[in-house]
Amino acid sequence: MLTEHSLTIDFDTSVTVSDIMGENTLDTSVLRQDDINTPVRAHVDEAEAVDEREYEIHAIEEFVARHGVTKPTEVDFTPKKYSWGGKSKAEQLAKNPDYIERRGRPRSLHTKKMSFTQLDNGLYKRSGRGRVKKGHKRHTFTIHFSKYNIAGDGTHSHDALLAMATL
């Protein structure tokens, strides 16, 4: 069943906002303008502004008289090198054909301790991140940094892992 409602609003246009709120409700004293004769902002003393500019010009002229001025040349407009110093890779290769570019700080440690799990056949496999399986035991070997990738792939014997400690 559908019910229809109607709404009507009657407006009384003879009543104003001040009639509804009362006379003392609205305080308009803060909206009043200050005295008409007071300045809106403080003006800058033009004589002081001119003196400061003349002082700057005098300082510039004094600097030019002392140090001199040169016209800019092509060297002034060439981009500056932002390298850490030294020669470029091409210059290094021209000097030494076996040159290898190295970035960053040099290594302080050349070895890393890696853990391996001994399998049932006696070979060792790189251990995962979690706990070892029941009955297995982790063994730690010191591996040279150049052999990290080789040590992580596949299985290795005990003697092979011991040999990886050196270069």
Does 58 fall in a domain? no
Q: How confident is the model at residue 5 (pLDDT cuts 50, 70, 90)?
A: confident
**2 vs 8, residue with greater confidence:** 8
Band the pLDDT of 115: cuts 50, 70, 90.
very high
Beta carbons of 57 and 50 less than 8 angstroms apart = no
The residue ranking higher by pLDDT, 60 or 24, is: 60
Give the separation between CA 167 and CA 154, rounded to whole angstroms.
Answer: 20
Three-state DSSP class for 163?
helix
Domain with 134, as residue range(s), is 111-163
What mean pLDDT value characterizes the chain? 81
Res 83: pLDDT: 63
CB-CB contact of 151 with 126 (8 Å): yes
The total domain count for the chain is 1
Is residue 144 within 8 A of residue 113, CB to CB? The reply is no
Judged against a pLDDT cut of 70, whether residue 145 lies above it is answered with yes
Asked whether residue 41 is assigned to any structural domain, the reply reads no
Q: What is the pTM of this model?
A: 0.39
CA atoms in the 13 A half-sphere facing the CB of 93:
5
DSSP lists the bridge partners of residue 125 as 117, 155
Mean pLDDT within 55-69: 87
**What are the backbone angles phi and psi of residue 42, rounded to the nearest 5°?**
-80, 130
Could you tell me if residue 152 is inside a domain?
yes
Q: Please indicate, yes or no, if residue 121 is contained in any of the structural domains.
A: yes
pLDDT at residue number 116: 93
Question: Quick check: is 158 in a domain?
Answer: yes
| Contact indicator for 116, 127 with CB cutoff of 8 Å | yes
Any domain includes 38: no
Render pLDDT for 78-110 as a digit per residue (tens, 0 to 9). 877 666 667 778 888 898 988 888 777 888 888
